[in-house]
């Protein structure tokens, strides 16, 4: 049975404050995300051009949503991975973040985000927080994000990462993501960031009518990225977006640990 775990202290969303001047510099509001100018000042010479080149490559690869491209060019991916890997941060590849998990390649993050067809007002459920990269990208594109991470250390690190970036509209919960997070649902969009053998029914049922779910499902050696739209209370339509390769979605309604 899917049970709702007790929330750790870091699960509380931060207050959505306005931009302010403080000892660390001016806080800049970027969509749903505020990033201290001190971070940008330190980063600009080394990684801003790398992000710009990344955005160009994503555009050439078929990412057409300008809001998605802007978000991909805004989030400092290198701050969400171990420092030893910073030189690889803006290459289109998955990278290890510890606990046997990876941060998804920017290309697949952009592709999945675009497939959600976001307008800006959505409440989004994310299954698999990882280091917080996908949540950071979403934060500037939607009203709010509820993210569920099964590994306590990653949940804790992701909260610290998002706090550093002054993300104010993402709440992280520790728990079995294959059960979703029903107490905050239903959701306009759901994004699953790990590969499951099949669509987890409890998660699917937390989708609003007219809402969309995007995620990888199928056998480990033949995963397909799917987009599922809830037509009404009982009917769903499904579109296959192509082959993909993700770490396992582990839980009661996913792969066994």
**Per-position b or e across 67-82, b if 16+ CB within 10 A of its CB:** ebbebbebbbbbbbbe
The question of whether 184 is a catalytic residue gets the answer: no
pLDDT number for residue 193: 97
Contact in structure between 179 and 2 (CB atoms under 8 Å) = yes
Reply yes or no: is the peptide bond before residue 186 cis, omega within 30 of 0.
yes
Which of 121, 111, 124, 127 lies closest to 208 in space, CA to CA? 124
Mean pLDDT, residues 23-48 taken together: 48
For residues 80-101, average pLDDT: 95
pLDDT tens digits for range 149-199: 999 999 999 999 999 999 999 999 999 999 999 999 999 999 999 999 999
Domains and CATH numbers, the chain: 21-243 (3.40.50.150)
pLDDT tens, residue by residue, 132-153: 999 999 999 999 999 999 999 9
> Which pTM does this prediction carry?
0.85
Q: Alpha-carbon distance 254 to 150, whole Å?
A: 12
Chain CA centroid to CA 85, Å: 20
* Candidates 27, 56, 59, 104; catalytic one: 104
How many CB atoms are closer than 10 A to CB 22?
A: 9
Q: With cut-offs at 50, 70 and 90, classify the pLDDT of residue 46.
A: confident
What pLDDT, on a 0 to 100 scale, did the predictor assign at position 11?
38
């Amino acid at each position: 049975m899917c049970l709702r775990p007790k929330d750790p202290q870091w699960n509380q969303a931060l207050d959505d404050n306005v931009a302010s001047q403080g000892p660390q510099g001016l806080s800049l509001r970027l969509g749903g995300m505020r990033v201290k100018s001190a971070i940008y000042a330190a980063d600009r010479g080394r990684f801003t051009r790398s992000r710009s080149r990344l955005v160009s490559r994503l555009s050439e690869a078929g990412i057409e949503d300008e809001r998605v491209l802007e978000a991909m060019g805004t989030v400092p991916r290198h701050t969400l991975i171990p420092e030893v890997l910073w030189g690889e941060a803006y290459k289109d590849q998955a990278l290890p973040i510890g606990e046997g998990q990876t941060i998804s390649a920017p290309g697949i993050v952009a592709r999945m985000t675009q497939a959600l067809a976001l307008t800006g007002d959505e409440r989004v459920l994310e299954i698999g927080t990882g280091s917080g990269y996908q949540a950071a990208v979403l934060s500037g594109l939607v009203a709010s994000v509820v993210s569920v991470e099964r590994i306590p250390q990653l949940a804790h690190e992701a909260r610290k990462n998002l706090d550093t970036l002054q993300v104010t509209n993402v709440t992280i919960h520790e728990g079995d993501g294959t059960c979703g997070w029903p107490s905050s649902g239903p959701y306009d969009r759901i994004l699953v960031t790990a590969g499951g053998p099949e669509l987890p029914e409890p998660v699917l049922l937390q989708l609003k009518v007219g809402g969309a779910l995007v995620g990888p499902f199928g056998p480990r050696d033949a995963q397909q990225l799917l987009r599922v739209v809830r037509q009404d209370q009982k009917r769903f339509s499904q579109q296959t977006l192509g082959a993909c390769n993700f770490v396992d979605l582990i839980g009661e309604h996913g792969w066994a640990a």
